[in-house]
Amino acid sequence: MNDSNSTINPESSILIENLSLDLWTDFYQISSWRDAFIEWTHNLVSPRTNRVSLPVLREINLNFRHGERVGILGVNGSGKTSLCRCIAGIYKPTSGRTIVSGKLRAIFDSSVGIYPELTGRENAQLLAELIYPHEIRRSEALNEGLEFSELGRYLDAPFKNYSNGMKARLCLSIASSIPSPILILDEVFEGADLFFSDKISKRMLEMIEKSSITLFVSHSPENIRRSCNRVIILSLGKIIYDGAVEDGLAAYMRLGSDQQTSDPIIKGPNS
């Protein structure tokens, strides 16, 4: 990885004002297994559907400035990824706004764009083009990432024959090659095998240190503890904690799976 700190920009910032997001989804209604069987055997139209608007985020107000490494925590379905996608411009908020000052790179799934029939090397080239479309150092980053993966001759084997650990090695190595002034990392460093995990974690810390602002979604308290200086907890689409890392991790550990059916309020210094 290039050791230049040129990506750090003290002017980088993210402002989120009164952001709310609703997403539409279909719910299929079948009154009984008998009805489902009849519809299937007679090749009838799809079961009746109800199109429902689901509240995903509610009145989010946040401000991120240079030097902040923010861990975003919450149980599955709490709105973490949706918030990051709004910031990255992938989702348009139902109301409110986000203002991003600085170059932003968001990595939500490092395996997007993978073709199982192609070799690891060919997939790495496609992944580099997808993640770094305008980077002049893309070829350099690609070669460095391939070497970092330690896959050797397996790089020229079909990706479909890789184990899960090998897939993670390749994708994570390419995705972490070039830092950015503003980084959004949504669980992209999960899934590596035990022996590669420490290596990729150190590389992740270097990547974060070279950024101006990092938003880091992870279910790993240890990764949050090592990487972040601020923690946000989401529940039911609302911010329930915003403050110091250790207090935030302690609050997160107290959240059980049943908290998704309630509306907990945990006050933090920035709440």
Strand, helix or coil for residue 61: strand
Domain that residue 250 falls in: 1-103+180-271
What is the pLDDT averaged over residues 235-257? 90
pLDDT band at 133 (very low <50, low <70, confident <90, very high): confident
Alpha helices (H) in 69-133, listed in sequence order: 80-88, 120-131
Beta carbons of 251 and 235 less than 8 angstroms apart = no
Distance CA 271, CA 266 (A): 8
Q: Does residue 203 lie within any of the structural domains?
A: yes
My answer on whether 165 and 248 are in the same domain is no
Q: Does residue 111 lie within any of the structural domains?
A: no
- Please state, in angstroms and as integers, the Cα–Cα distance from residue 181 to each residue in 4, 87, 109, 154, following that order: 12, 14, 19, 33
**Structural domains in the chain (count):** 2
What is the pLDDT averaged over residues 178-194? 79
My answer on whether 184 and 173 are in the same domain is no
pLDDT at 115 (0 to 100)? 92
Share of residues in the chain with pLDDT > 70 (%): 78
pTM, two decimal places: 0.77
pLDDT above 70 for 174: yes
**pLDDT tens, 17-37?**
999 999 887 666 656 666 666
Alpha helices (H) in the chain, listed in sequence order: 33-41, 80-88, 120-131, 138-149, 164-175, 194-209, 221-227, 245-254
Distance CA 106, CA 73 (A): 17
